[in-house]
Structure formats: C-alpha cells, structure tokens
Structure 1
Amino acid sequence: MARALDREYSAALMRASRGIKTASAEALRALGVHIGQNFLLDQLWQQDGLTTGELARRLEVEVPTITRMTQRMEAAGLVTRGRDETDKRVVRIELTPQGEALRDQVPAALDAVAARSLQGLSDEECRQLIGLLERVAGNLRA
C-alpha cells in the first residue's frame, strides 16, 4: 500500500509538471510554436537539413510523429520539407527564415517560464531541487 507521503509527492510533482507544461505552451504559442516543436527546432538549429529518420532518433519518437509535426510546422512557415537530392525516398527538413528567427526567442521564452517557476527559491534551493529531481529520474531509469 502506498504511503501518504508517496501520494503527496506524486500529486505535487503532477501539479508542478502540469503548471510548467501549461506555462511553456502559452509562452511558445505566443511565438507561433506548439509545445514539443521546440525540441525539433532545437535539433535543426544545431544541424539544419536533418532527415525525418534522424530527427526521430534524436528526439526518441517514431518517424510518423516527426512527419505529422513537420507537416504542421511547414504549414506554419517554420520549416520546409523536401526530397533528398541523391535519394528521393528521403525527406529532409530545413528551417525557413521564420524558423531561424526563433533561435533566440524560444529559449528565452522557456527560460522565463523556468525563472517564474523557481521564483522565491535561493540558488542553493534550486541546486538542491535539481539534484533531487535528477535522483528521482535516475531511480526511474534503473
């Protein structure tokens, strides 16, 4: 049977997670980006012209997920999808000028959400929280 503390922890973590996700979605929406698309943009900012397969591997999702995401992003003007010059079966994803222009704005918006979520905590408390969350993540990976 679960301890009361286990349930209290789970409930608090869920509230925090939901709050961060909601605030992040709102911040990204103001930039014309849907939650999750920021991860794909980040990969393209590091290396433009990746294939759908490469993006799927890097983001640890299935190719159809990348296909749907890039279709939406193309409709929004953030990326283009085109066939590879040497292998027409391969689709490459490239940033548009609009997608490239978000390179500084998306991280800044997410940093603002993080700062808001940590408001009132000292640097030491932030380090402690990060360390504890890393331990929780490690427990779940084990």
Structure 2
Amino acid sequence: MDFVRADAINQAIRLLSLRHRARAAALLAPLGLHPGQEALLLELARTGPMIQAQLADALGCEPPSVTLMIRKLEASGHVRRAPAPTDRRATVVELTEGGAALVERVKEVWCALAEETVAGLDASVVAELPGALAIMTGNVDARFSSR
C-alpha cells in the first residue's frame, strides 16, 4: 500500500475514534457518565455479575482503569462489589437496581450514537461494518500481541 492511501486510512480511523469518543462523552454526560463507564454497565447487563479481573479483560482495559470506573459507579449507586464466594481475593461486580435502570438509558444513547455515526451510509455498508471493524481490530491485536 502506498503512503497516500495508508495516510488516508490511518487519519480516517484516528479522526473517527477521537470524534466518536467526544460525541459519546457529550451524550453520556447528562446521564452522569464518562466514556468507558457505559461499556462497563453494558457488559454487566449482558453477562451478569463478573469478577473484576474478568471484567477488565472483557472491556480490554487495564485493571486499575476498571477499578477506578467501578469506584465511581459504586459511589453513584450503579454497581456494587462483593468478595467472590470461591476466592476471597477476587471481587465480584454487579449492577444495582439503579444501574439496571441506567443501562436502559445508555442503550438509547448508544442507539442514537450509532445512528448518527452511520447516517448517509447504505444499509448494506452498515450491515458489514461490525464484521469489517472486528477484522481490523483483530489485525491490530494480532500485531500488538506478537511483540
């Protein structure tokens, strides 16, 4: 691939990432959330209670980042932590009733953000985006993990 095409691809990905995160922050702020916290809430809604370390893996985040998010979400009453029944060193995180209610609002925001992001694209392109982006993520992950 030549530099002009490579630059166009890399710049498009970089700008989309920055602007998508900024738009997510603007949409999540009225809910009292910061980017990343919505992903944690959505993961717990999908999977149910999780050990904190597994949650970090599922989110692709470093454990200290997840610990900070959990502390903030716990302080706001959206999640609770408890020692894991099988391993007292591990912590289980689960949604509270308030957290489950907030997840429904997060889903609305998430849908709105996705609709804004893909506006103007053909339905066939939109249908292929998750798969194409997953392949791209896997390509980057494979190169990163091989170091």
- TM-score between the two structures when normalised by the length of structure 1: 0.80
Cα distance in structure 1, aligned partners of 2:102 and 2:8: 38
Letter in 2 for 1:102: L
Letter in 2 for 1:66: V
RMSD across aligned positions (CA):
2.6
- Change in Cα spacing, 1:109 to 1:90, as seen in structure 2 (3 Å) is same
Q: State the partner residue of 2:122.
A: 122
User: How far apart are residue 132 of structure 1 and its match?
Assistant: 4.4
Letter in 2 for 1:32: G
Cα distance in structure 2, aligned partners of 1:62 and 1:129: 27
- Between 1:21-30 and 1:55-64, the stretch displaced more is 55-64
Q: State the partner residue of 2:58.
A: 58
- Between 1:61-70 and 1:103-112, the stretch displaced more is 61-70
Cα distance in structure 2, aligned partners of 1:88 and 1:131: 39
- Change in Cα spacing, 1:128 to 1:82, as seen in structure 2 (3 Å) is closer
Letter in 2 for 1:63: P
Cα distance in structure 1, aligned partners of 2:41 and 2:11: 31
Q: Counterparts in 2 of 1:69-80, with a 5 A limit?
A: 69-80=69-80
User: How far apart are residue 106 of structure 1 and its match?
Assistant: 0.9
Cα distance in structure 1, aligned partners of 2:83 and 2:14: 41
| Identical amino acids, percent of aligned pairs | 30
Q: Counterparts in 2 of 1:37-52, with a 5 A limit?
A: 37-52=37-52
Q: State the partner residue of 1:33.
A: 33
Q: State the partner residue of 2:97.
A: 97
Q: Which has the larger radius of gyration?
A: 1
Query: 1:80 is paired with a residue of what secondary structure?
Result: strand
| Residue-by-residue CA offset, 1:113-142 (whole Å, 9 max, x unaligned) | 111111112212324555544443344336
Cα distance in structure 1, aligned partners of 2:84 and 2:130: 42
Q: State the partner residue of 1:20.
A: 20
Query: 1:30 is paired with a residue of what secondary structure?
Result: helix
- Between 1:117-126 and 1:81-90, the stretch displaced more is 81-90
- Between 1:59-68 and 1:96-105, the stretch displaced more is 59-68
Cα distance in structure 2, aligned partners of 1:47 and 1:133: 23
- Change in Cα spacing, 1:113 to 1:50, as seen in structure 2 (3 Å) is same
Q: Which has the higher helix share?
A: 2
